[in-house]
Structure 1
């Protein structure tokens, strides 16, 4: 799989750009804040309809504009598809494939598959559970629209149920019809939360089960003298939902457990006014020698674990029959010499790699390819925009 062209309009700092691409390595060089990461972000967004940098799409629209457009032509096994997404603040995104509108934006997920390496990856090991949940959800989303829909539905119900819990305590104290209405409505939301939550949980568990051996192998290669690595999905519903052997997670069983926990924990949730049960509170345990890596692994071990998670993701997608586009966003500046060499060697085996760097010297000598220079220019109206100012292979045009 590779991206043949990328087109942006009013996306982040880019007012307009048309960039022709090809297999191999493309290196975007520019000072911090000049927009090179925005190019990487647009591709990652087209893959999963989620930004790795912000939680809301409105931030992707160029200042002063109402909409942003990102489009990429993807070649996979000789088949060429152009996926385009239009982002509008406060409205549903619109998507198309080869010019034909999609009924739902999420239907384009899976056409492009990417794996992004970034300095923020260290947070997957040393940060909060939300970082690890995001990692699992992004990887699960690459399987196609079904998991994207399940997560969107879960988030919608979670917001509604959480809003009800904030006011439920007062209504319960009042008794009568108000209390009965709260209980009745919670019954409805509990059923939906359990159904969608089970799909999200099962999808994550299946990802962990499939990913774990690849991560273990990659970590052993990066740190051959370190203890072994294992991954374990820790759900608030308890150990009983973790998968056994090679069997896929049982969605119906997880749904029943979730619903039972929601009902039994209702009083506590009403008292606290928050939703305490569900995949929004789960975590991924990254185990190093049987110990949870967060708070245990050294800085070097943590970086090796973060790299192993990304490298393992690439191998997992390859095993599924899809060679992903690998995006390396300013990551070499964060790594020591040993890990830079290991990542550079891995990049040589990938069909298409896109690299960003503040200065060309940050890119190891083992990675060579087309170099594209990005700068920020000032317009007469006082606005600023990114622009490609040099291309060693003359493959790009900017506007």
Structure 2
């Protein structure tokens, strides 16, 4: 799998841009603020319909423009597909596949798959649980695109339920019966999301351990585990997990009404990262934290490869953050991927192990350097 062409209209600092790409390594070099990261952000957006840098779409629109358009031609197993996303702030985005409109943008999810390494990845280890939940959910959606709908529906139900809980103390009995309806939806969708998360963690665990050993040989053993705020027992199926969530919702109803917020569900869970016998957060050094973050991304890449088809690897300004040893080992591990997109402020940041086509990025213009 690789992206052969990227076209942008009013995306970030680009009024327009057209970049032809090839399999192998492509390196975008430019000083900070020139737009190199915006290029790879656009590629990742085509895969996930979200940015790895910002939480909302509004910053993606060039100042003064009404919307942005990202187009990418994807080659997968010899077949070409043209994906187009129109990003419209404050409204529903629109998508086209091979120039034909699709009913929902998420219908193009899964055609392109990417794994992004970025400086923000340190938050996977040192940040809040929502960062780790997003990593896990992005991965399970990449593996099974239909789960994008489950994820969105769960977030919608959670928002509606929280709105009702905020007024529940003054609500009528009829309003509380409405809460019963939302409980059913939350438990059902939460059970499906939990089942996918647990299954993904199970297959990801040995891959994380392997990747950490490759990035930091001779150091601690790395481990991941899933921690739920709900007693899941030995449940693994969506149906059994939904039943567990429903029981927990009933048990904590009074507390939720009193506090005005949903206290039960996968939105309260965390992915636990450990090095040896200690949790990585709070105990790992800066270098160890980076190794764990890299191990998570490398494991995600390996898992997607096992599922069928190499994802596009994106290394966004990550080498400048690493010491010489980790820089060299990471480069050696990814150099032979089908397509690797790399950004760097200066050529010296690029390890010798990565040779490929180079592009200069300056002032919103991209020029290939042969």
1:208 aligns with 2:186: no
2:368 aligned partner: 391
* Deviation per residue, 1:62-99 (Å, 9 max, x gap): 11111111111111111111111111122211111111
1:251 aligned partner: 238
CA-atom RMSD in angstroms: 1.3
The alignment partner of 1:142 has SS state of helix
1:260 aligned partner: 247
Counterpart Cα distance in 2 of 1:60 and 1:191 = 36
2:293 aligned partner: 306
Say if 2:13 and 2:62, in contact at 8 Å, map to a contact too: yes
Q: Report the CA distance between 1:227 and its aligned residue.
A: 2.5
Counterpart Cα distance in 2 of 1:207 and 1:290 = 22
The alignment partner of 1:231 has SS state of strand
1:192 aligns with 2:185: yes
Say if 1:235 and 1:241, in contact at 8 Å, map to a contact too: no
Counterpart Cα distance in 1 of 2:193 and 2:62 = 32
- Please show how residues 315-334 of structure 1 align to structure 2 within 5 Å: 315-334=302-321
Say if 2:24 and 2:336, in contact at 8 Å, map to a contact too: no
The alignment partner of 2:196 has SS state of helix
Counterpart Cα distance in 2 of 1:360 and 1:151 = 40
Q: Report the CA distance between 1:225 and its aligned residue.
A: 1.9
Counterpart Cα distance in 2 of 1:240 and 1:101 = 45
Paired residue total? 370
Q: Report the CA distance between 1:241 and its aligned residue.
A: 5.3
Counterpart Cα distance in 1 of 2:339 and 2:232 = 40
Q: Report the CA distance between 1:239 and its aligned residue.
A: 4.5
1:181 to 174, 180, 192: 174
* Deviation per residue, 1:80-128 (Å, 9 max, x gap): 1111111112221111111111121101111101000001111101111
The alignment partner of 1:240 has SS state of coil
Q: Report the CA distance between 1:196 and its aligned residue.
A: 1.1
1:230 aligned partner: 223
Say if 2:94 and 2:105, in contact at 8 Å, map to a contact too: yes
Q: Report the CA distance between 1:58 and its aligned residue.
A: 2.1
Counterpart Cα distance in 1 of 2:288 and 2:89 = 41
Counterpart Cα distance in 1 of 2:136 and 2:277 = 21
1:282 to 269, 273, 293: 269
1:157 aligned partner: 157
Structure 1 stretches of at least 4 aligned residues deviating more than 3 Å after TM superposition: none
* TM-score, normalised by the number of residues in structure 2: 0.97
* Deviation per residue, 1:276-314 (Å, 9 max, x gap): 111111100012113221112221111111111111111
- Please show how residues 27-66 of structure 1 align to structure 2 within 5 Å: 27-66=27-66
* Deviation larger for 201-210 or 148-157: 201-210
1:297 to 268, 277, 284: 284
* Deviation larger for 285-294 or 67-76: 285-294
Counterpart Cα distance in 2 of 1:202 and 1:358 = 41
- Give the unaligned 5+ runs of structure 1: 172-177, 243-248, 377-385, 394-399
Say if 2:47 and 2:111, in contact at 8 Å, map to a contact too: yes
Counterpart Cα distance in 1 of 2:257 and 2:78 = 55
* Deviation larger for 189-198 or 285-294: 285-294
Counterpart Cα distance in 2 of 1:19 and 1:299 = 36
Counterpart Cα distance in 1 of 2:335 and 2:145 = 30
* Deviation larger for 313-322 or 58-67: 58-67
Say if 1:241 and 1:254, in contact at 8 Å, map to a contact too: no
2:3 aligned partner: 3
1:345 aligns with 2:332: yes
Say if 2:216 and 2:326, in contact at 8 Å, map to a contact too: no
The alignment partner of 2:219 has SS state of coil
Counterpart Cα distance in 1 of 2:234 and 2:128 = 22
Counterpart Cα distance in 1 of 2:90 and 2:63 = 15
* Deviation per residue, 1:311-337 (Å, 9 max, x gap): 111111111111010000000000000
Say if 1:74 and 1:80, in contact at 8 Å, map to a contact too: yes
The alignment partner of 1:294 has SS state of helix
1:219 aligns with 2:232: no
* Deviation larger for 88-97 or 15-24: 88-97
The alignment partner of 2:281 has SS state of coil
